[in-house]
Each structure stands twice: as structure tokens, then as C-alpha cells.
Structure 1
Amino acid sequence: MNRIFFEKHNIDPELLNTHDWPIVDDFGLSEEIRELFWKRKYAIDDFIYTDKSLAEIQNEHGVHKVLLYRLINACLQTDREGVILGYKALIPYTMKKQEYTRKSMPKFSTNSTGGFQKLLREHPELKEFIIDKYRNKRNQNIIDSKIKIKFLHKQFLDQCRLLGLTDNDYPFNTENAARRSLERYVKKIQNERFLIAAARNGSQAYQHAKSTGSGKRNQPMVIKPYQRVQFDGHKIDACIAIEFTTPEGDVIVEVMNRIWILVIIDEADRAILGYHLCLNKEYNSDDVMKCIRNAVIPKERMNFTVPALEYHSTAGFPDWGFKECQWAVWEEFSYDNAKANLAQIVKDRLTNLIGCSVNAGPVDTPERRGIIERFFGVLEENSFHRLPNTTGSHSHDPRRKDPEKNAKKYCITESEIHQLIEVVIANYNGTPHEGLNNLSPLNILKQRLDRDLTVRTLPKQHRNEILFFTKRVERKVCGNVQKGIRPYIKYEGVRYRSEKLANSSALIGKTISLYVNVDDLRTIRAFLPNGEDLGELTAVGKWAEVKHDLRTRKAILKLKKQKEIHFLSHEDPVEVYGEYLRKKARTNKNARNKLAHLEKSKKESNENKVTKLPSTVNPNEVEELMKSNGDIQNTPQRPVPRIFTKPIINNGY
């Protein structure tokens, strides 16, 4: 080894291990270039591993000592990723020329080589300006997101003027004002910075490039059922009609805004655990909780009213065929950072009731949840895209043929859409998938359960629907003995009383704990400061007759405050609200969605569902479960494993 040369140039001995250098495939080279490459390689190997003199190496391999020094220096250089070039630098005609660095620029000169790079070195803010303009970072609202070179060049010159450059300075003292240099620099940016080039093609291309294709997948393959589930919402590609009766008694069919379907899918076996159909224009935290509830509570078979609509013989949900999956809960919940998903009540139920970790990914990045996004595509192709009222996947989809007109013509309602979704999802669970080696999700689930891959279930004392929607609040007891006003509490603009509270004048002015079912506000469960159960408090007047959720209550009170609706104590506020929506529904799509949501809530109320906090639940257990909105401090949170704190980068998409 020529130690004197390497020690003189302070070269790290570890860099001289050619076994770690990148290899070169010489089969694609021409015979002449291949022969020259091997001569250089043998010369470098002899220079590193033997004590042969430069003259001996030149005589044996025909490589001059001056070229040999240049080659060894080139081999020890690194590329943009910091990887040593190694033998790649020996391929003829591929050695990168060192960039010329200009130190000074005369006021008047026809030679401006290196002037553009010198300008960027002296004014780094100009470099950032070019990059930002090229990728349209600071002008998101302009129509033309791809700025042309001639416009970029003009703005570049304007920026140079703002920096104090005159006509005697570069770039103004050149023939084309450095336009060719700017073009070459922009092309270099496009070739070397993929994200910037992708950003010029829209936010969707930028998000896809940013989220996929680089790095390594930092999560192992999920095999155990219910280990990780994915959640997302999807706006259905179809127009839905609603039939309602106006205050005048006329029956009208009109089209609503497109509705949402919310789904939870198991990553291990691709089985759909539960879903929820949201009839509003946008879904909120209540809808997310209903989807979680539907995925945990055992489901019943639906009675179909649509002719010829039925379950396939292999169709079903996990809790239908497997006892182990009844009341089963998951270990990790993966969803995006949409506003409804981030609500405190959702986080609280996931961590304290379900007992799972939360893996919230970035907004508008469906690549992170590819499994559920793929399912939405299958759902659309197998159902909604085949209907006459489909909107198609985009505005120019040939399947889109006047969907609003067809929705009214055939009167395709929410109930019929719900039945269709039920059948398609149940059949999906029992249909073989190519991605599952031609096995169905339920078959995969059965095999995993037979291999003793057990799943966690919800404790029996927590198996009540009300626990998914209850949140804890505190209110002061109002009343006045001197004026004869019996004790009561007020929640969301409505008074609540009970026989026990009405006769407890000692509680006036004291703060008590309330557990509110946001899905049914007719009653509230109350507890004294010492934890004693005060029982159920019932809404005063007509508020206690018709089931309504927190969203409906707030909408009614808002309209009353705006003097849009009026009602007396003997009138039903929910019915008054319904009449208002029926009137507005003639011309307003949002009102139609709200009316459909209200009618669905009434229908569920008539089914005699359990909507009260069970008396068997210990108040201390309820307090531990229902901590939300920061009312109770030091809420214990399930720690998130370290692997979930890093972004998921998947090369597969």
C-alpha cells in the first residue's frame, strides 16, 4: 500500500476498503470502454493493496501516474446521498467536472461563466425566491400553478432590482439578462429535487411524493386480528333523494347533499368490523363514535325491504360467526387528522373505554391508509357506480348521467342505500381477495383464531351502548327557596329536574357531576360531590318526549336565538324544528340532510333502544371511563408505542 500518499492527504483507511465500494455492472459497456475500465480498476487495486511503484503500475496497466492520482481522488468522493463513488468513478467519460467558482465579476465583460452561481452565493435569499416561485409555494391561489420561464425570469429581474443591483451589475450586463442561466438552474432543480418538481403538478402529486417511495417501512406486518384497525370516512358517489311532507301537506321528493359512510377495517384480515352512514353534509365526532360503537357491539341481521336484496351464503361480520369476536376491541386505531376525528370525546373513548393506542396520520394523505382507501374503491365499483343516480368518480365520468334527476325519478332513499351498503359490506367480508391469496377476510380470520391468536374483548361491566356517548360535565344547582323555585340544573339551554333533586334545597349553589349521553339528551345522570348517585334528571317540558342528540339541540337553540323559530313551553321544540326543516327543504339541500338525520333519530327512538346509563355501573368506574373535555385532571392515557410516533413510510404505493 502506498501509505505515504494516503497519510500525506489524511485519507481515512476505512475508505480504502474496496469491498465496501459500490459495484459496477460492465456488461452494458462497449468493449472499448469495458477494457479501459478494467485497466483503471486493476491499477487502483494495485495502488491500494500492493507496494508497486507508480512506474510499475503504469507499465503494467497503461495508466499514467497523473491520471492515477486523479482517479483515486475521484473514487474517494461521495455523491449527493453521501455514498462513496468507488469504482463508479473509473467508468470513462463519467467523471464529474468540478464546478467553476467565479470570484469576481467585471462591470463590463462578455464572459459571464460562473456569474449566476456567484450571484446566488452572494444573495441566498434570491435562491429561495426562485425555488418558491418555481414550486408556487407563495401563490397557492393563482390560476396558473406552473409558472413559465419567461414570467419567472421577469420576476427574477424585479427581485434583483429590489436587492440593489444596477444595469452595470450581473445579470443586467449580459446579453440575455441571465435567462439561459436561469433556465439551466431551474432544470437542475427539477432533476435533483423530486418533491419540488411534483409540487408543480398540484397538491395531490406533492402529498403522494412526500408520503411514499422513500425510506423504509418502519412497521412490521400485522398478522394478529384486531391488532391494528384503520378508520376513514368516504363521501358516497351517488345522489340521494328524501321524501317529505310540507307544512301544507304536499309530498315532495328532493335531492340531499351527498352523504358519508364511515368504516373501520381490520388490517390483518381486511374484514370490515363496523360502519356508520352519516346523513349530514359533514360528519362530526358523534358520527365517529357511532362507527366505533357499531364495530364493537354485536350486530343484528338487517331486514331488507328492497326486493331480491339478500346476504350471500358466505357473507357476514366477524361477530356473526366467531364468538371470540363478540365485543372484541383493537390494540391500535389508525386515522387521519381530520377535525371530527380529533375531538376530545373520540380520543377519550379510544384510550379509556376501548383501551387502544391512537395513531393519527397527516391530513389528506390516503396513502398511509391504503387498505381502507382500496376498500372504498371496491365499494363504489360494486354498488354506487352501478346505480342510475351515481355521480361517478369525477365530473367527466361517463357513468354520470344526470344523477339528481334519476335520484328523484327512482326515489332512491337513504334507507335503500343503507340496505345496499349492508349487503355489499357483508358480502365483501365473505368474498375471496386476490391480496389475501384468494381467501376471504372471514376465512383469514378463522385461520388466525384457530392458531390461538386471541383478541381482546370489552369487559362485561362496560358493555353498554350508552358508554360510547357519555361525557362528564359539572353544573351548579340553581333554585331559590325564598321565591319558591325548586332546585334544578341547566344544560345546553334546558332545565333538568328529578323528584329527589326538587326536594333537596341544601344542594342549591353546589356543583354536581353530570354524565350526559350526547346521543339522547332527554335524561342526564347526576352524582353528588361525594360520589353518591343522585339518579336521573329529566328535561323539563316537551324536551323529554322526542329523542334528540346534542347536534340537534344546538341547532334548535341557535335558530331560536336568531328568531328563525319560536315555541312555547307546551310545544315540542323538536317537532317545531322539523316543521322548519320541511319548509326550508323545498329549496335548501342542507335542510334536507338535517331533516333526514332528524327522521332517522326519531325512528331509532321508536325501536326502544337502551339510552340510559345502567344503574349497575359503579360511579367510580364511570368517572374513570368518562373523563373528557379536560373536566377531570390527570387523565391516565395509554402510552403510545415508540413505533407509532414515527410517520409510516411505505414503498409499496
Structure 2
Amino acid sequence: MNTLPPTEEQLDEWNEPDLTGRTPRVIAAYEKRKVALRSVVRGNSVLAAAKANGVPRNTVTKMVHTCMALAPDGKPWGWRVCLPNRVRMPSTKPPPPVPAQPGPGAFNRLLRALPGLVPVLADFNKPLPTRDRKSTAFERLFEKFLATVRKHTEGVGYPFNAGDKGRRALLEYLKRMKQDLPQSEGEEEHTEIAHAKQLQEVFEFGVMERLEFDAHRMDADFYLEVEDGAGKTLLREVSYVWLLLIIDAASRLVLGWSLVLGRGYSQIDVLRLFNRALKPWEPRDLLAPDMRYVPDSGVGTEVATGRLQRGLLSAMDNAMAHHAKLTTTNLSRYLRGVLHLGPAHVPETRGILEALFRQLENGAIRHLPGGFEPARDADTPKRATTSDSAEKHPLNPIALHDLMDVVIAGYNATPLSALGEQSALGVVRRYVGGGGWTFESSRTQADADKLALLRLTVTIKGNQKEGRQPYVNYMRGRYRAFGLRDRWDLLNKQFQAVISMEDLRYITLLTEKGDVFARLTALPPWSRTRHDFDMRKLIIRWSNRGLFSIVGVDDAISAYRNFVRANARQYGAAVDQLARQWALYGPASTKNEMKPSPAFTPRNGHVSFDHVKDPTK
């Protein structure tokens, strides 16, 4: 390999490569590298040429060293070295030794130590043996393989000390070789053949073209300070705290985040986060007086450009809350992009997001009181990373949300080495300001509001003989509207309906054309306090177990909160619910909610609605 740069005369003799079919991104990179190489030839240093043209220094060094080397066509690489991912020079490292013992990767190390075996195996095109069929050709190849290895090792070491002498490893290698792998079609191009394990290895994504979403369990123990029914204060441990994040893979910009306290998160939590990512970020009113946001920091694209950009592809794994019917249906319909559900428990498919989770753990979360490094195996048990005890520093969910908002907003404004010492906000700002393609929509606000909507079919019920006015049942709740009064003709008819999973107090009936027919309101005890789908499901579940009853109460949500507060000492799940409600709606007033709810008496007898407003409306 030539280590001296070429001369100006040699540069003029090189032919320009054919750029037909190349993307504008590749052409722009080629022009930058070409100018950088010419700058080195004219006497500038590699570092100066790299900085002046925005090309990595290692890339410029490699171009200088390989531009005069001979390509497979017998000519110097020339300007072709400036094309990204074009040149693959053979390694100059000495071959590794033949493995002495069998083990994981021993066969591949054997092939690297004896490269002459690779063409012999590559020429094999006969059928491979199966359980039902033998292959004489494979057996002959196996004997030839052992004979070739024996010439170099004299029958010592691998594969001769393996139980099957490497037969199974050879068979698996040939099976992989027979798969349809990408082949190099260009005469002048020498590329490496490999499996593409990630989508970004096939496609080159730009800003806001690929979003990554996942949830991460925070490596810290948290204790919540609660009061029981007698007014005594006690500490109870919160099961887990989950961090949900959406990040743009190209710019590393965090678009939205949320915390979920409890043993798990639901489809409502996922949709709630995407709803937040489609709305402008607003700084929180920080609880701690000494806590401050980093100047010019924030979350989302609106902070960088003043406009809310939308992603084209959202990648996530197929966890239960991610591939739930409501999640996939609403994200496909209102996110207006591609939804890519990858395999669960394979974080490599969302490498950018997983790297950010590690940064947040090492830089912030594990420094909280109760922070720890989780156990990896029997030899490396769980280890505390801070001397501050979680019991001595009880959790304040509001303060924890403040801290994470400040940390994540500050991350977006921090220069990153992976971005060439630019911040994520700066990358997006420069991309949009330079005329980069963006996806915007005037319906973003409406789409965000519709993410939590559920479409369902309901049946109008009632009894004209008994004077029971038309109503609709949904999740132990009865819904009525003045528009259905005395509409006996609608009994047993089905309607398409829409209900918000964020507020189950109202159901909207639709006509066949999709117009609003009537808006129904829940009757007590579900009408007073706003509650989401998860809250009602929990109340029903605890009622079915006989631990809690809403019979005779006027407000089921208030009664449930009183119950979990009074039984926090007895039930661990009650602590999670207290922390979750505190995080969503703020700390409830103990003095007001601990009072017994007034008994609710249903209407009976003859009732006229002519001059009386329904209190549930």
C-alpha cells in the first residue's frame, strides 16, 4: 500500500467514477472527500483538510493511503476512494493461529487461520445431508476438509479433538453459504458479504425519518411516604418506575418521554406518550427552587425550528402494550407513518435509544438515592451506586418528573461526539434551515387528540313498560343523554360509538355517515371525577376480588383513592396506585378525600326532566 499522497499530475490522470444512480447524499459526500484529498495533495495536513471539509480524519487518512493502490481491475483506485463504502482493502494483519480447543467461534477462527479453505467450501454446490437423506458429496468434502487441515496442523488441535471433528460446524457453515446473500454486481467494486441485522444497514435514514420507542425500567429503588386511614405516616416501596422514550435515530433528538410508576405500563401509557410527542413541549414549573433548565434546551422539534415535525417510521418491539390492538390501530391511523414492530428483548434493533438509556442510567438515574447497578449473573450481584438510602429520601413523583425533564432537555442541547460535536437540537435546526425535507401536517393537533380514542359498537337498552329510559352500558357504567329521552324506537339498535380512553365519562354515538348523533354522560358513581381506562379497570378488578365496593357511593374514583390510601400498609399494589395518581394528577388532599363519601340514592318513582338539569350532564 502506498503511504505517500499522489501528485497533482496523477490526480489529473484519474478518471471520474460513474455517479449515475447515486443518491444526492452520496454525491455530496463524494464531492467533500474529493476536495479534502486534493487539499492534502496541495500540502495541507490531513487534520486541516478534514476539518475544512467536514470529513472524518480517519477517512481522509485512509483515502491518502489507498488512492494509489491497485483495485481488482488492475488500475489505481483513484477518485473511487472518495465514494462512501466503496473500497475494501485486504487486511494486513497476520492470520490468527489455528484454535487449539473446540468452542464457540472455533470454526470461524479456523477459516481465518487457513484462508485456503474458504474457496474450497465456496465451490461446493451439491445437496446437503438431512435427517432423511444422506449426501455422498458432502462426506467427500468433509474428508477433503480434514485432509487440508491435517497438512497444516499434523492432526493436532481443532477440529480433530472435537467429538464430531467439526462435521456439524461445517454443515452449518455450508447452510449459511447457501442462503440468498447480497452479491457484488460491479466489476470494480469489492464489498463484504454479511447479513443485515438492522434496518438502518439497508436504508440510510435522515432526520425524522426513523423514530425509536421503548420503555426502560429505572435502576433505582423508590419509597413513597403515605398516610393510612388513621393519619399515620409510613414508607412503602414502589414496585418499579418505567421511563418511556421516543428519539429520532438520525439527530439523536428526544421527541417525548414519560414516567410510569408501577409494576408495568399499558397501551394507554404508550398512546399518551405519542400524544405528547405530537404537541409542543412546555417547560415545567419546577418544584425545587435551585433546579434550572439548561439555556436554549427543550424537547421536540418545535424547540429547534418553531414547527412540529413528524416522523416517517416508528420502530418499537412487540411487547404486549406495543402490539395491543388499540395501540397499533390508533398509531397506524393517526401517526400517519410506518409502524415497525421488531422482536422483543433485542435492544440492538434500537441501538440509538438503548445507548441513550445507558447514558441516562450512568449519568443521572444511578446517582439518585437508592440507585444501583443490576445483577448480571451469580458472580456479579446487585450493587449500590450511591451512599444515599432510598428510605431516607422518599420519592416525590412531581420532583422526579421535574428532574427527568431538565436532564432530557439538557441532553438535547448538549454537543455529542457522534454528531461531530453538535447538539441534537442544532442538527435538526441546521437540517431544516438548509432546506431538508420534512413531514408536517395541519392535522397534527387533531391527530394527537384522536390517539386515545376507541371506536366500538354499542347497543341501546331500556324498557318502555317499566319506564326505564334508553341507555348504554360500558365497563360497569351506564350512560344516558337527554337526546335519547323517550326514544323507544332506538331500543336494541346498534350504533358506532367513540370514547376517549383518557376520560371515560362520555360516549359519543355516531350516525352511519359518521356524524354525531348524541353525546352520552355516565351516571354516578362514574360521572364526577375524570378517570382513564386503566383506572376504571383497576376499580372493577378490585371489586371483583371482594376487596373494595362502590355500591352506594357517589364518586367511585374518590372512594377508590381513599381505599388504597387506607390500605397502603396491607397491599403493595395500593402503593403503586397512589404514586401513579400522584404523578398524573398531583397529590390529593388527604383532608378532603378521607371524609366518607355521601351515600348515593338512585332516583325512583315518577321523575320529570322538563325543568330540572341532570346533575350528571
The AA in structure 2 aligned to 1:387 is L
TM-superposed CA distance for 1:301, in Å, is: 0.8
What is the aligned partner in structure 1 of residue 538 from structure 2?
Answer: 555
User: Is 1:245 equivalent to 2:227 in the alignment?
Assistant: yes
Letter of the 1:184 counterpart: G
CA distance in 1, matches of 2:264, 2:389: 23
Find the counterpart in structure 2 of residue 368 from structure 1: 349
Pairing partner for 1:273 from 255, 258, 263: 255
CA distance in 2, matches of 1:439, 1:542: 54
Matched, 1:514 2:493: no
- Residue number in structure 1 paired with 2:120: 79
- 1: distance between equivalents of 2:254 and 2:553? 46
Task: Report matched runs for 1:370-519 at 5 Å.
Answer: 370-394=351-375, 396=380, 400=384, 406-460=389-443, 462-463=445-446, 465-519=448-502
Asked if residue 291 in structure 1 is aligned to residue 273 in structure 2, the reply is yes
Write the distance in 2 (CA, Å) between the matches of 1:286 and 1:447: 35
Change (3 A) 1:81 1:325: farther
* Kept after mapping to 2: 8 A contact 1:325/1:455: no
Distance 2:434 2:386 in 1: 52
| Superposition CA RMSD, Å | 3.8
Structure showing the higher helix proportion among its residues? 1
Deviations 1:533-555 (A, max 9, x none): 22321110121111211111112
- Describe the SS at the equivalent of 1:262: strand
Conserved 8 A contact 2:281-2:303: no
- SS of the residue 2:341 aligns to: strand
Partner Cα distance (2:400, 2:452) in 1: 25
Q: What CA distance in whole angstroms lies between the structure 1 residues aligned with 2:300 and 2:532?
A: 29
SS of 2:503's equivalent? Answer: coil
Match of 2:520 in 1: 537
Does structure 2 retain, via aligned residues, the 8 Å contact 1:240–1:413? no
Contact 2:310 2:440 in 1 (8 A): yes
Which entry has the higher C-alpha Rg, 1 or 2?
1
Query: What is the Cα deviation at residue 392 of structure 1?
Result: 2.1
- State the identity %: 23
Given that residues 287 and 398 in structure 2 are in contact (C-alpha distance below 8 angstroms), is that contact kept between their aligned partners in structure 1? Answer: no
Query: Cα distance, 1:398 vs. partner?
Result: 8.1
Task: Identify which of 163, 186, 191 aligns with 1:184.
Answer: 163
- Tell whether the 8 Å contact from 2:582 to 2:588 is kept in structure 1 after alignment: no
Q: What residue identity is the alignment partner of 1:473?
A: L
Q: Does 1:335 align with 2:316?
A: yes
Q: Closer, same or farther in 2 for the Cα pair 1:253/1:222, shift >3 Å?
A: same
1:528-577 C-alpha deviation (Å, 9 max, x unpaired): 34544223211101211112111111121122222221222433222232
Change (3 A) 1:191 1:398: farther
- 1:561–1:189 Cα change, 3 Å: same
Change (3 A) 1:378 1:495: same
- With over 3 angstroms needed to count, the CA separation of the structure-2 counterparts of 1:270 and 1:99, relative to structure 1, is closer
CA shift, 1:333, in A, is 0.6
- Contact 1:232/1:262 (<8 A) preserved: yes
Letter of the 2:263 counterpart: K
- Post-superposition CA distance 1:69-109 (Å, at most 9, x none): xxxxx99994334489xxxxxxxxxxx996559xxxxxxxx
- In the TM superposition, residue 213 of structure 1 has moved relative to its aligned partner by 7.3
Separation in structure 2 between the aligned mates of residue 77 and residue 428 of structure 1, nearest angstrom:
47
1:472 is paired with a residue whose SS is: strand
Instruction: Check 1:26–1:269 CA distance in 2 against 1; reply closer, same or farther (3 A cut).
Output: closer
The 1:457–1:561 alpha-carbon spacing in structure 2 relative to 1, beyond 3 Å, is same
**1:526 aligns with one of 509, 520, 523:** 509
CA distance in 2, matches of 1:461, 1:390: 38
How many Å separate the matches in 2 of 1:83 and 1:23? 26
In structure 2, the CA distance between the partners of 1:189 and 1:465, relative to structure 1 (3 Å rule), is: same
For residues 484-529 of structure 1, what are the alpha-carbon distances to aligned partners after superposition, in whole Å with 9 as ceiling and x for unaligned? Answer: 0000000111101111123422211111121011111111222234
The answer to whether structure 1 residue 233 and structure 2 residue 212 are counterparts is no
Give the drift of 1:453: 1.3
What is the alpha-carbon distance in structure 1 between the residues aligned to residue 588 and residue 92 of structure 2?
Answer: 76
Secondary structure of the residue aligned to 2:295 is coil
- Supply the distance in 2 between the matched residues of 1:24 and 1:250 (Cα, whole angstroms): 73
Residues 1:305 and 1:25: Cα distance change in structure 2 (over 3 Å): closer
Whether the 8 Å contact between 2:217 and 2:242 is mirrored in structure 1 is yes
SS in 2 for 1:329: coil
Q: Decide whether the 8 Å contact of 1:354 with 1:458 is kept in 2.
A: no
For residues 173 and 312 of structure 2, the distance between their equivalents in structure 1, rounded to whole angstroms, comes to 37
Secondary structure of 1:544's partner?
coil
Secondary structure of 2:392's aligned partner:
helix
> Equivalents in 1 of 2:474, 2:93: separation in Å?
80
Secondary structure, aligned partner of 1:457: coil
- Alignment check: 8 A CA contact 1:314 1:431 kept: no
* C-alpha contact 1:548 1:601 (8 A) present in aligned 2: no
Which aligned pairs between 1:589-628 and structure 2 lie closer than 5 A?
A: 589-603=572-586
DSSP 3-state at the match of 1:363:
coil
2:564 equivalent to 1:581: yes
2:397 maps to a residue whose letter is E
Counterpart for residue 356 of structure 1: 337
Q: Tell me if the contact between 1:488 and 1:502 (Cα under 8 Å) persists in the aligned partners.
A: no
Higher relative contact order (CA 8 A, sep 6+): 1
Deviation digits for residues 235-280 of structure 1, max 9, x if unmatched?
A: 0111222222212222222220121011000112110000111112
- Give me the whole-angstrom Cα distance separating, in 2, the residues matched to 1:418 and 1:284: 19
Distance, in Å, in 2 between the alignment partners of 1:465 and 1:605 is 28
Provide TM-score, normalisation by structure 2: 0.64
Distance 1:516 1:184, change over 3 A: same
Letter in 1 for 2:321: A
Displacement, 1:402? 8.5
Give the match's secondary structure for 1:558. helix
Distance 1:76 1:470, change over 3 A: closer
Contact 1:546 1:602 in 2 (8 A): no
SS of the equivalent of 1:315 reads coil
Distance 1:194 1:383, change over 3 A: farther
Letter in 1 for 2:533: L
Instruction: Give the Cα separation in 2 of the matches to 1:27 and 1:262.
Output: 44
- Structure 2 CA distance for partners of 1:464 and 1:230, relative to 1, 3 Å: closer
* CA distance in structure 1 between the partners assigned to 2:503 and 2:356 by the alignment: 32
* Residues in 1 aligned to 2:116 and 2:447: alpha-carbon distance in whole angstroms: 69
CA distance in 1, matches of 2:366, 2:460: 55
The CA distance in 2 between the partners of 1:397 and 1:504, in whole Å, is 67
Q: 1:256 to 1:76 in 2, by over 3 A?
A: closer
**Residue number in structure 2 paired with 1:125:** none
SS at match of 2:495: strand
What SS does the corresponding residue of 1:410 show, helix, strand or coil?
coil
From 301, 310, 316, the counterpart of 2:283: 301
Query: Are the structure 2 counterparts of residues 466 and 187 from structure 1 closer, same or farther at C-alpha, using a change threshold of 3 Å?
Result: same
State the one-letter code of the partner of 1:355: R
What are structure 2's unaligned runs of at least 5 residues? Answer: 1-71, 75-87, 96-114, 126-138, 148-158, 176-192, 590-617
The answer as to whether partners of 1:241 and 1:414 remain within 8 angstroms in 2 is: no
Unaligned runs of 5+ in 1: 1-17, 30-73, 85-95, 102-112, 115-179, 197-211, 607-653
